[in-house]
């Protein structure tokens, strides 16, 4: 491969460094109105009465819309493909505006004004009276009988799931030791640097156009249609450049409401740009989980059974809901071999911000419990943490008993071997034995597996369209969205590689427009390279075949002996040049008899999946007097099949690991236990790491080739964020002998436990 596998410069880098890349808020529409939501100040209750009279008369206010003005039907918001099977549909539990308030920040009314400041001032003039219930913030509270249900008829249980595979009784009997423990993870936020924002207007024919910072334009169109109760084709969604998503924008956060608001002002353009504070409290967050894990092992460290119970807190609305807990269980199962395995989970409604998709989709939680627990087992058995993993990881060719995914490529062992070498594991382990100072060093490791897309749980349709110009260059359109991860560049590389043209001859349209772009589900589930890549490759192959077929007609040389290399038609066997591609392309555009410009419009329904693997190795230094953890070295080693663009891939690893570091040590959203009010809702209190807090991150890949993937590639986007937290937790354990089972591992928690365990 010539172009796939090379660190090509991003196709959008120049526009981004020049500041010419246009994001949602960079588009100005004449007469744009600005909307602000009036949000509840209580976590749980009803609006008894609302008075918008003062807001309505403030000069500059165009309209004030309340829960009384919206359709009564509910709609779902999650960025999943639609299913005709009702049992597979997302939970429809939202109204555009609500009288029943379910978290602090819930949307009760909206003000539309001529400018943002006027909308903001009008919002402050709205008065409501509430009937207030005690906020439900924990699993215990949610399941308490007799309390008002957050959603009627649910008992506050949004979903349940689980599985049991193998003979549990036999596996238990065979175990020499059984370990039981509990773990918990916190609420964190995506913190894309671009906040949630969208604007909408109506075309003269009554269609609604929504311009949004979305990862999922086609799904967004359907959801807006559902929310407004109008035919889905009456909605058009446009996605310009996006300032990061991380799963938060795999959801419809502002689009349904802003689309509705434009209909209330006769189609005038209305923009709703969430502030940073609103983006924290009124979009989506990562699910907090509580776990109980039980593991049986034989004397030699072979896992005999694993049993995980999980409770996931979903906040006030379903969003992705139970899917996250299900994915947590799937990746938990796929990580190791054992005789029997059991998983049971439930997802509960609480009066907190709705939890949705976020990089890793339940798997950072799964691997925190699994990999932390496994280290405790290794310690108890006096085994090396790497050894116990090598002993239990799935072999290549392993077929999952439930979803049927086969690990056709599996470089996990190589990842572990490479990581051990990079961090000089054995040497440091020996040097770090028996430390007594106030600064102690330790090593940690943690493994993960992840899928490439959602098959067989979800539909995996992807679209690509290629049109060749007179000069042999091509336009490439995809429905999958570039959100910063680099997919536009990777797709361009695939097209150049497959057709046989220089990268400069591939022009990709970065903007998605549901009226124009091929149908694709969007950017999520680490699916772009693998799933959309299949459609892109097919489209490119189709173009190449058409070119060679046409060239056969022009040259009388059979298509099958020709190839295209670097923009030339050549003999396949020796590379001898026959004619420049431009001659063929121009002819196909202009020949009065034979003209038939080359186009390909491909939709691919991928009914395969591939497991990506990898691990984190980390060395920490813990200051037991201040509770600070310094990352001395950290490496993420990935098996993601063929790496299409090493520089971009490393960038994904850097960003994912940094997100994982934040998850381990810094980031959390806290809520007042009495009122449910968010205590942390800005970038001062939410501890996103700065450059000074971020260590050098080592990104490494092992060479595997995934037979089902385009060019041998598989998932990479989400995996880097999964294992830093358990690896760091294990390194702190290694350094201090103290176990931390709750995230994040803040200095205060460390000091309290060091004191309790007599370390200080």
Tell the burial category of 641 from Cβ atoms under 10 Å away from its Cβ (0-12, 13-18, 19+).
buried
Q: Which of residues 544-603 bind other proteins (CB under 8 A)?
A: none
Dihedral sign from CA coordinates of 207, 209, 210, 215: positive
Residues 684-713 close enough to bind other proteins by CB under 8 A: 684-685, 687-694, 696-697
Per-residue x/- track, 147-186, other proteins (CB under 8 A) = ----------------------------------------
Instruction: Give the binding-site size for other proteins (rule: CB under 8 A).
Output: 85
Contact code string over 275-294 relative to other proteins, x by CB under 8 A: xx------------------
One of 103, 196, 241, 336 touching other proteins (CB under 8 A)? 241
HSE-CB at 18 with a 13 A cutoff on CA atoms is 7
Which residue among 5, 6, 7, 179 contacts other proteins (CB under 8 A)?
A: 7
Question: Of 147 and 689, which has the nearer Cβ to other proteins?
Answer: 689
Angle, helices 412-423 vs 385-392, to 10°: value is: 170
CB of 19 to other proteins, least distance (A): 2
**Residue 116 CB, nearest approach to other proteins (Å):** 7
- Strands ordered across the beta sheet of 562-565: 562-565, 568-571, 577-580
Question: Could you tell me the smallest distance in angstroms from the CB atom of residue 162 to other proteins?
Answer: 33
Q: Is 657 in the site for other proteins (CB under 8 A)?
A: yes
Q: Is 192 in the site for other proteins (CB under 8 A)?
A: yes
Applying CB under 8 A, among 1, 57, 180, 193 the residue interacting with other proteins is 193
Residue reference for tokens 């806290």: 670
Among 471, 654, 738, 759, binds other proteins (CB under 8 A): 654
Least distance CB 198 / other proteins (angstroms): 15
Closest CB 33 distance from other proteins, rounded Å: 7
- Chain length of the chain: 760
- What sign results for the dihedral spanned by CA atoms 144, 148, 153, 159? negative
CB of 697 to other proteins, least distance (A): 5
Secondary element (H or E) of residue 735: helix 724-736
Pairwise CA distance, residues 516 & 528, whole Å: 19
Q: How far is the CB of 358 from other proteins (least distance, A)?
A: 12
The partner residues of 349 in beta bridges, in order of sequence, read 315
Residue 459 C-alpha from the chain's centroid? 17
14 binds other proteins (CB under 8 A): yes
Which is closer to other proteins, CB of 242 or CB of 725? Answer: 242
Residue 143 corresponds to which tokens in the numbers above?
A: 């399941």
Nearer to other proteins, 89 or 626 (CB): 626
The residues in 600-639 that bind other proteins, with binding defined as CB under 8 A, are 625-626
Select 332 or 686, whichever has its Cβ closest to other proteins.
686
Applying CB under 8 A, the span of 134-142, 203-211, 500-508, 740-748 interacting with other proteins comes to 740-748
CA dist 656 to 31, 45, 404, 653, 687, Å? 40, 38, 28, 5, 16
Q: Give whichever of 161 and 364 is closer to other proteins, judged by the CB atom.
A: 364
Edge-to-edge strands, sheet with 474-478:
506-508, 474-478, 461-468, 599-605
Residue 445 to residue 375: CA distance in whole angstroms: 9
Find all residues with CB under 8 Å of 117, minimum gap 6, and list them: none
CB 174, min distance to other proteins, A: 44
Spatial separation of the C-alpha atoms in residues 145 and 420, rounded to whole Å: 51
Instruction: Give least dist CB 601 to other proteins, A.
Output: 29
Q: Interior CA angle at 432 toward 632 and 629, to 5°?
A: 35
Which residue is it, tokens 């994915």? 327
- By CB under 8 A, the residues from 355 to 414 that bind other proteins are none
> What are the phi and psi torsion angles at 346 (to 5°)?
-140, 150
**Site stretch for other proteins (CB under 8 A), options 144-152, 572-580, 593-601, 742-750:** 742-750
Q: Tell me: does residue 658 bind other proteins (CB under 8 A).
A: yes
R_g of the chain, CA atoms, integer Å: 27
Binding of other proteins at residue 666 (CB under 8 A)?
yes
Pair of tokens at residue 186: 């916190």
Tell me which residues in 20-49 interact with other proteins (CB under 8 A): 20-23, 25-26, 28, 30-33
């Amino acid at each position: 491969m010539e172009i796939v596998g090379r660190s090509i410069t991003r196709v959008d880098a120049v526009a981004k460094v020049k500041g010419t890349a246009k994001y949602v808020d960079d588009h100005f529409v004449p007469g744009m109105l600005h909307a602000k939501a009036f949000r509840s100040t209580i976590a749980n209750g009803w609006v008894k009465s609302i008075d918008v009279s003062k807001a309505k008369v403030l000069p500059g206010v165009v309209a004030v819309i309340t829960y009384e003005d919206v359709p009564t039907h509910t709609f779902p918001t999650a960025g999943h493909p639609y299913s005709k099977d009702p049992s597979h549909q997302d939970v429809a539990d939202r109204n555009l505006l609500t009288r029943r308030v379910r978290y602090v920040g819930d949307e009760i009314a909206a003000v539309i004004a001529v400018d943002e400041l006027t909308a903001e001032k009008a919002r402050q003039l709205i008065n409501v009276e509430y009937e207030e219930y005690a906020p439900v913030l924990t699993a215990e509270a949610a399941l308490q009988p007799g309390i008002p249900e957050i959603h009627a008829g649910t008992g506050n249980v949004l979903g349940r799931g689980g599985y049991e595979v193998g003979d549990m009784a036999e596996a238990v009997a065979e175990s020499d030791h059984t370990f039981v423990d509990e773990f918990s993870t916190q609420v964190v936020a995506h913190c894309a640097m671009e906040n949630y924002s969208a604007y909408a207007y109506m075309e003269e024919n009554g269609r609604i156009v929504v311009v949004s910072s979305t990862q999922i334009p086609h799904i967004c169109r359907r959801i807006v249609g559902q929310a407004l109760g109008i035919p889905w084709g009456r909605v058009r969604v446009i996605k310009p450049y996006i300032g990061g998503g991380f799963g938060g924008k795999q959801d419809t956060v502002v689009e349904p409401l802003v689309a509705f608001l434009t209909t209330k002002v006769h189609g005038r353009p209305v923009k709703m740009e969430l502030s940073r504070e609103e983006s924290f409290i009124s979009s989506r967050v990562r699910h907090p989980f509580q776990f109980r894990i039980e593991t049986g092992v034989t004397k030699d460290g072979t896992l005999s059974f694993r049993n995980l119970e999980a409770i996931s807190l979903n906040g006030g609305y379903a969003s992705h809901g139970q899917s996250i807990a299900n994915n947590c269980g799937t990746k938990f199962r796929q990580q190791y071999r054992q005789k029997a395995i059991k998983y049971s989970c439930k997802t509960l409604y609480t009066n907190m911000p709705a939890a949705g998709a976020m990089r890793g989709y339940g798997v950072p939680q799964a691997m925190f419990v699994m990999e932390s627990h496994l280290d405790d087992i290794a310690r108890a058995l006096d085994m090396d943490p790497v050894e116990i993993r090598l002993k239990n990881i799935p072999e290549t060719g392993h077929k999952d008993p439930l979803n049927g995914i086969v690990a056709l490529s599996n470089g996990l062992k190589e990842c572990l071997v490479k990581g051990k070498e990079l961090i000089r594991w054995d040497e440091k382990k020996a040097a770090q034995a028996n430390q007594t100072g106030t600064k102690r060093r330790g090593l940690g490791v943690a493994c993960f597996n992840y899928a490439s897309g959602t098959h067989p749980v979800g539909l995996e349709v992807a679209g690509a369209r290629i049109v060749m110009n007179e000069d042999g260059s091509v336009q490439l359109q995809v429905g999958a969205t570039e959100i910063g991860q680099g997919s536009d560049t990777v797709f361009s590389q695939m097209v150049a590689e497959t057709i046989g043209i220089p990268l400069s001859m591939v022009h990709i349209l970065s903007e998605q427009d549901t009226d124009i772009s091929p149908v694709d589900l969007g950017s999520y589930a680490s699916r772009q390279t693998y799933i959309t890549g299949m459609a892109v490759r097919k489209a490119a192959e189709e173009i190449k075949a058409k070119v060679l077929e046409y060239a056969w007609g022009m040259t009388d040389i059979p298509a099958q002996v020709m190839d295209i290399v670097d923009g030339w038609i050549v003999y396949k066997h020796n590379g001898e040049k026959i004619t420049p591609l431009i001659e063929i392309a121009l002819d196909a555009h202009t020949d009065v008899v034979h003209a038939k410009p080359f186009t390909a419009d491909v939709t691919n329904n991928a009914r395969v999946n591939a497991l990506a693997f990898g691990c984190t190795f980390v060395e920490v230094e813990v200051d037991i007097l201040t509770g600070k953890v310094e990352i001395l070295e950290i490496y993420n080693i990935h098996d993601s099949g063929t790496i299409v663009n090493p520089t971009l891939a490393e960038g994904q690893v850097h960003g994912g690991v940094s997100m994982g570091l934040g998850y381990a040590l810094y980031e959390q959203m806290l809520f007042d236990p009495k009122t449910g009010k968010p205590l942390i809702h800005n970038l001062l209190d939410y501890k996103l790491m700065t450059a000074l807090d971020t260590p050098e991150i080592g990104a490494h890949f092992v060479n595997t080739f995934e037979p089902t993937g385009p060019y041998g590639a598989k998932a990479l986007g989400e995996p880097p964020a999964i294992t830093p937290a358990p690896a760091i937790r294990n390194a702190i354990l290694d350094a201090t002998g103290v176990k931390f089972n709750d995230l994040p591992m803040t200095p205060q928690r460390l000091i309290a436990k060091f004191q309790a365990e007599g370390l200080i």
